[in-house]
Chain A
Amino acid sequence: MHFNGITYSINDQKDTIGFNIPFTKAGNLIVVKAKADSIQGNFIIDSGNPGLVLNQTYFRNYKTITDAESGGESNGINGTVSNVEQINISEFVFGKLSENQLKADLLPLGHIENARKIKIIGLIGIKFFANCEVIFDFENSTLQFTIINKKFSKNYKNKLIADTNIVKILPFTIIDNRLIVQAFIANKKLKFIIDCAAETNILHSKLPNIIFDKLNVLGKTLLTGIGSNKIEALQGEIEDLTIGNKKLSNLPFIVTNLEKTCFSYLGCVDGVLGFDFLSLQKIGFNFTNNQMYIWQ
C-alpha cells in the first residue's frame, strides 16, 4: 500500500491493518527503534514536527541539498524561511512503515543525548502518520498503529472507541504541519499544539489575565532548545483545563512568550500540550479524519 510516498507493508485489498510498535521513555520523551539507510537506533516520536529530522552527528558525511535545490522549502511558521540543511535518504523504515528517497532535515540533537544519556538518531514527525490511526498506550508502552485504506477511511471506526462513555472524541486540525486542538481554561477557548516531544505543557504569556488567575506559580525555570539557547520561563500548575468535556486538574505548565509562534493563517497559538498532558491517559489520533480520542 502506498500513500503520499510512504509505503505501508500491507495488502492493497485490506481495508485496515494494525500493528504495534513498542516504545521506551527517556525522561519524558517517547523513543522507538527505526532505521535511516544503514543507521539503526533510537528515534523520538515528535508530533510537533512535520517530517524526518536526523542528528547531524551521525549523518555529517552526507551531501547536503542547497536551498535552491530544495526550492527554498519552508514548513516554518510566520513565513520564516528555513536555513536548515537537508540531506537525501535512500530508505527510512519504522515498523511496517517505510519510505524511499526522502529528504530529511539535519539538526544537532546532542543536547537531547546529553540530557537523556541515550543515543538519538533522529525525530519522526507527523508526516509518517498521515494515513494512520495512532493510539498512545502508556500503560503498555506501545504505539498501536492502524493503517487505513483511503477508500475505507470514511467507514472506519475503531472498536476501542465505540463506547463514548469511555472515550471522548474531538476534532483536531493540522495547520502548517502542526497538530492543533482546542481546549478551555477559565471558559476561554484556546488553541494548543499537541507535541509529544515537548516534555511539558506550555502556555503563552500574553493570554488574558483571567487565565493566569488559574495559574499557581511554582517558580522560575529555564527552557533549553536546540543550540543550547536558554529561555527564562515560569513554571506552574493550571487549576482546570477542559478538553473534549474532560476536566484535568493541576496540570503542569511552563509559561513563556510564544508571540512569534504564529501561523501563516488562522493566527497564533496559545500554547502547547506535551507529555505532561499526553501521558495522563490513553490517547489517540486518527489522521485520516482528524479525530482525537481521549480515554476517560
Chain B
Amino acid sequence: MAVKPLFILKQKTYTQIILCFILLCLYTNTIAQPPFSFGIKNGKMIIKASKNLTQKQIDSVSNKFKLGELMLHLLIKDNFTDSLNKQGWIIESNNKEWLTITKNFESSELYVKKSNEPFITPILKNTSPFLFNNKYLINRFKKNKNPIETDSTITITYKPFKAAKEVLLAGSFTNWKRNALAMQNENTNEFSITIPLLQGKHFYKFIVDGEWTVDPLNEQIESDDEGNNNSLLCKSNTRFFLPNYTNAKKVFLVGSFNKWQDGSIKMIKTDSGWFANLYLVDGSYTYKYVVDDNWITDPANPLKYPNEFSNQFNSVKQIGNPTNFYLKGFTQAKKVTLVGSFNNFRDYEVLLEKNDSGWTTNYVVENGSHTYGFKVDNSFVNQEGENLKNIEEDGTTLLINANHTFSLPGFEKAKKVYVAGNFNGWRKNATIMKLVNGVWMANVYLPQGKNLYKFIVDGKWIIDPNNNLWENNEYNDGNSIIWKE
C-alpha cells in the first residue's frame, strides 16, 4: 500500500519535470536565437534577422558581414525588398518578428577548365603590409624594444639565448658579411652597436659565433630573392610626439599614410608623452592621434588643414621639397583652395593665402604625374585662371621627378596625343605628348614595379605598337606593360 502514493508522487514529479523541461526548451530556444545570423543551409546562404534590430545593430552587422549592398535598414525596417531580387536573394519568410532570406551560390568554374586554372585570389588580406607601394615604414619590435634613434644614428641590441663570444651585425648597409660590424658586449651578455644609417628601409641579421640569425625581437622579417629571411630595419625621417597624456592607456597614430586605419600604428609611452618614428615617402600627410579612442589633433603642431567635418581639422606633416602654388588675381575672392590628384581632389583642405597680386601656398607633392586646379569661392579654375568644367579631366598638369620618357613614332599627322596609365590615374588628359622630330614624346614619373599604359591618339586609345609586352584588360583591347626596376 505504501507504494501507490509514492508512485503518484513520482508521476506528478515526472510531469512537472517534463513540463519544466519543455518550458526550459522553449525559453532556451527563445533566448538562444540571435537577433542576426548569417550562415549556410541546404546549399544556400541564409540570413535571419530580427525586426527588433536597432539602426546601430543593423549598421554593425552590415559592416561586419560586408552586406552594404543589401541595404538592410530599408529591408528590415521598411520592408523595402526591391534590391533583393536584383541581387539574387529570395525571401523565405517575412513576419512581424523575423525576416529570413536565402541566396544560391553561383556555380564557380574554379578547377573546372584549363582556362580557369586554379588561381584563386580572394581579396581578403594583405599578408605583408610593407610589400608594395606603401607610404610609410615603421619598426615593429616585441615588448616595445624598438631601436633607439637619433637624427643620423640607430642603436641595435642583441641578447643571445646562451653565452656568446662574438656577435656581428651584418646587413644591406654593411654589404652583409664583407663589412660586418662587431657589436660591443655590454653588461649581462647583451651586445649593442650604434651606427650611422641613411633614412629608409634596410635589412640585417646577427652572426653569433659564426651562426646567422634574425633578430628575435624584431617582428618584421622579409625573405630575399635567395629565400633568406632577414630582419627589416627602418631608419625613420619623421618623429611624431604627443606630449603629456601619460595617464592614457593606449595611443595610436592614424593618418592619410595608413589610410586612417585605427590600431595599425601603436605609439610608445615615455615619461613625458608618446612617440612613433616613421619613415614617410615625400609628400603631404594629414594625421591625428587616437588617445583611448578619442581622436585629437597634434597639440605640438600648428599646421592644420580643415577636414570633411565642419569646423574640424587634421594635423599636417610635409616631407620633401615644397612646390609653390600661385594663382594670379582673384583678389576679391573670399576663399581659394588647392585641389589636385595629390590630395584626391579634396576641395576644402589646402587653403591659399592672399597677397597683393593673388593667392599662394607651399605644398609638398609626391612624385608622379598630377592634375590640379584651384577652387575660387564656388568655382574651379586652372593655373591660368580659366574656368574648369571638370577639374580631374581638364586641370593643369604637374610632373614631379620624371624618370621615364614615353615615345610614339609614326603618328606625325595626329593632332593630339596623350599617354594614360596607372601612373597618372588613367586620366586621359593628364599627360600630353609633344611632337619632336616626328616622334610624340612625354616625360613621366613611373613608380617601381608594373606599370600599365596606353596612348590616346586623337581620342582613340591604342596599345604601344613598339612594345611587345601587353596584357588583356576588361575592355578586351589590351594595356601595354612597363616594368620599372
Contacts and interface: CB of A to CB of B under 8 A. Distances in A.
Given A25-B127, A117-B131, A206-B43, A223 B120 contact: yes
A33 B223 CA distance: 14
A23 interface: yes
Given A27-B127, A212-B40, A117 B226 contact: no
Nearest to A25: B223
Contact of B121 (A74, A111, A256): A111
Contacts of A255: 40, 105
B355 interface: no
B471 A56 contact: yes
Contacts of A227: 115-116
Contact of A199 (B39, B120, B133): B120
A112 B224 CA distance: 20
A221 B469 contact: no
Contacts of B106: 231-232, 256-257
Contact of A22 (B39, B104, B118, B226): B226
A261 B122 CA distance: 18
Contacts of A269: 111
Given A78-B112, A141-B228, A205-B40, A232 B65 contact: no
A60 B133 contact: no
B324 interface: no
Contacts of B120: 198-200, 202, 223-225, 254, 272, 274
* Tier of interface size on chain A: 35 or more
Given A24-B225, A24-B227, A228-B474, A117 B449 contact: yes
B105 A117 contact: no
Given A22-B228, A23-B227, A226 B116 contact: yes
A259 B107 CA distance: 7
Contacts of A223: 108, 110, 120-122
Interface residues of B, number: 57
B471 A57 contact: yes
B117 A260 contact: no
A225 B112 CA distance: 11
A116 B359 CA distance: 43
Contact of B227 (A28, A61, A142, A193): A142
A47 to B, nearest CB: 9
Interface in B31-54: 38-45
Instruction: Tell me what chain B mostly uses at the interface: helix, strand, loop, or mixed.
Output: loop
Contacts of B227: 21-24, 140-142
Contacts of B42: 209
Contacts of B126: 27
B124 interface: yes
Contacts of A61: 468
B429 interface: no
Contacts of B2: none
Contact of A257 (B107, B450, B474): B107
B209 to A, nearest CB: 20
Interface in B119-146: 119-124, 126-128, 131-133
B263 to A, nearest CB: 18
B439 interface: no
Which residue of B105, B118, B126, B483 has the most chain A CB atoms within 10 A of its CB atom?
B118
Given A224-B123, A235-B124, A195 B118 contact: yes
Interface in A21-58: 21-28, 33, 46, 48-49, 53, 56-58
A212 B39 contact: yes
Interface string A190-201: 000101011110
Contacts of A118: 449
A157 to B, nearest CB: 26
B124 A221 contact: yes
A258 interface: yes
A202 B481 CA distance: 32
Interface string A176-200: 0010000000000000010101111
Contacts of B104: 257
Nearest to A23: B227
A223 to B, nearest CB: 5
Given A76-B112, A105-B114, A226-B115, A199 B131 contact: no
Given A22-B226, A141-B228, A110 B472 contact: yes
Contact of A221 (B40, B64, B122, B228): B122
Given A25-B127, A119-B483, A221-B123, A49 B118 contact: yes
B113 interface: yes
A77 interface: yes
Interface of B: 38-45, 64-67, 104-124, 126-128, 131-133, 223-229, 449-450, 452, 468-472, 474, 481, 483
Given A256-B108, A261-B111, 18 more contacts: A26-B131, A56-B471, A60-B468, A76-B112, A77-B112, A107-B115, A108-B472, A118-B449, A123-B117, A195-B118, A219-B64, A220-B65, A224-B119, A225-B110, A229-B116, A235-B122, A255-B105, A257-B106
6 contacts: A57-B481, A80-B113, A224-B122, A225-B109, A257-B108, A272-B118
The 9 closest A-B pairs by CB, nearest first: A22-B227, A110-B471, A48-B118, A257-B105, A206-B43, A212-B40, A117-B132, A219-B65, A205-B105
